[in-house]
Amino acid sequence: MNSISILNGRLIDPAAERDEIIDLHLAAGRILAIGQPPAGFVAEQVIDARERVVCPGLVDLSAHLREPGLEVKANIASETAAAAAAGITSLCCAPDTDPVIDSPAVVELIRRRAKQSGKAMVLPIGAITQGLRGDALSEMAALHEAGCVALSNGLRPFKNTQVERRALEYAVTFGLVVFVRPEDRHLRGNGCVHEGPVATRLGLPGIPAAAETVAVARDIALAEHTGARLHFHGISTATAVRKIRRAQHDGLPITADCAVHQLHLTEQDVDGYNSDCHLIPPLRTLQDREALRQALAEGVISALCSDHQPHEEDAKQAPFPSTEPGISGLETLLPLSLKLVRDGLLSLPEAIARLTLGPAQVVDIPAGRLSLGNSADICIFDPEADWVLDREQMHSAGHNTPFHGWHLPGRVCYTLFEGRVVYQS
C-alpha cells in the first residue's frame, strides 16, 4: 500500500473552509486522515511541507490537448506532464480534436491515453453537434455515458439559434452543463484583435465587444427559455459581465470563467504585432480587464482557466492575422492567479477556490477538495518563491506565451495524483 504523510504544511481547502497548519496522510491513493494519523499508520514517504501551501490539485476547465489529430502541436502525454508541473490534476479537454469528440470511441481513446500517461485526470467535453458543424445534434446520451462531463460547440459559434435551442433542450434531459464561448460570428467577421484604437493604428481587422455581448444576451435568453445549465467560457468584456451578473441575480443556472491571461494583459500588449498576444477572444481594453477582475472578486466569475492552446513554433511565425490564436497556458495558471493575490484583488484562499472548488462545481465532479476518502489529488507550492518564466524551460510541447521574461510568484514543489507523486521540483 503506497502511503504518504505531508507534514507541517499550510493546508487550504476552500470546500471545507479550512486554512491551518496541519498534517495530511494518504494511503492507497486516497486521503486517509487530516491531522493525527490513524493508529498504526506508518508512512512509506514523508513530505515536509513547512512554509508551503498544501491545497487540492487544480482543476482546469479548458485545455486543448491536441490529441487525437494535432500531435504536431502536442499530445496527451506531453500536456498532462505539463499539467503535473503546474499543480493541475484535472483537465477538461476541449472537443475540437481531429476527429472531433462526438462519439464514444473518441472519448474512450482520450481516456485510455490519459490513463497510460497517469499524470492527471482528463475529462472530455463532448461536441454538442456532430463534427462541431453546428447543424445536427450529437448523440449526447452516448457521450454522457462514455464519460463526457459537459457539452460544447468548442470555439465555433452556433450557426443557427434554433439548433442551439434544441441542443440546450436535449442537454437538460441528461442534466449536462453546456459550455458556450459567446461570439456572434457575423460581428466577428475576419477580426483578429479587439476593435479599437490599437487595431486602427496597426491596421488590423477588429472584433467588437458587441460580438461577445450580443451572443451572451442571446444565450441567456435561451437558458431562461430551456432551463439549461449554461457555462460561459472565456468571458472578456465588461458588458458581458454585467449581463451574467444580472442573470445570476435573477436565479438562472449560469456560471462563468475567464482565462487568467485576460486579467493581466490588454489590447496594448498586441502592439508591435506580438503574435503571442493573438488570442480569441481578443485582449480587450483596460476597462474590460478591470471589470473581469471585479467580477472574479465578487464570484460572478467562479473559475479561472488556462485556456491552454499549445502551438508549434511555425504557427506564430507569420503576419499577425495569419498566425494561430492562443497561448500555452497551463504553466502560468497558478502563478498568474497568485499575482492577483499580490495585487490585493483576492485572498489566497479565494484564489485557490477559483482554481479548485469553483471549476469542479461547474462540471459537478468530486475533485477540487480534500475530503476524507477522496482521491489524493494535491498541489504543494511555495507561495513566496519568485521566478522568471523562460519559454524554453516550459514542460508543454507548446512554448507560445506572452509571459516570457515575466517575474512570477509561486512555484509548485510537488503534485500528487491519485496518491502518487507525479511531479517534484
Cβ atoms of 303 and 367 within 8 Å: the answer is no
- Say which residues have a Cβ less than 8 Å from residue 286's Cβ, sequence separation at least 6: 266, 268
CA distance 175 to 228: 8
Query: Grid coordinates representing 200?
Result: 486602427
Q: Which of 257, 276, 307, 377 is catalytic?
A: 307
Question: Helices (H), strands (E): how many in the chain?
Answer: 12, 20
Please choose, from the candidates 13, 152, 81, 52, the residue with its C-alpha nearest in 3D space to the C-alpha of residue 412: 52
CA distances to 48, 49, 143, 317, 402 from 321, in Å: 49, 47, 35, 11, 17
Strands 150-152 and 177-180 come out as parallel
Three-state DSSP at 60 gives strand
CA distances to 24, 43, 173 from 46, in Å: 10, 6, 47
CA distance 24 to 367: 17
Three-state DSSP at 339 gives helix
Please choose, from the candidates 305, 300, 329, 288, the residue with its C-alpha nearest in 3D space to the C-alpha of residue 233: 305
Is 250 annotated in the active site? Answer: no
Which residues does the annotation mark as catalytic? Answer: 307
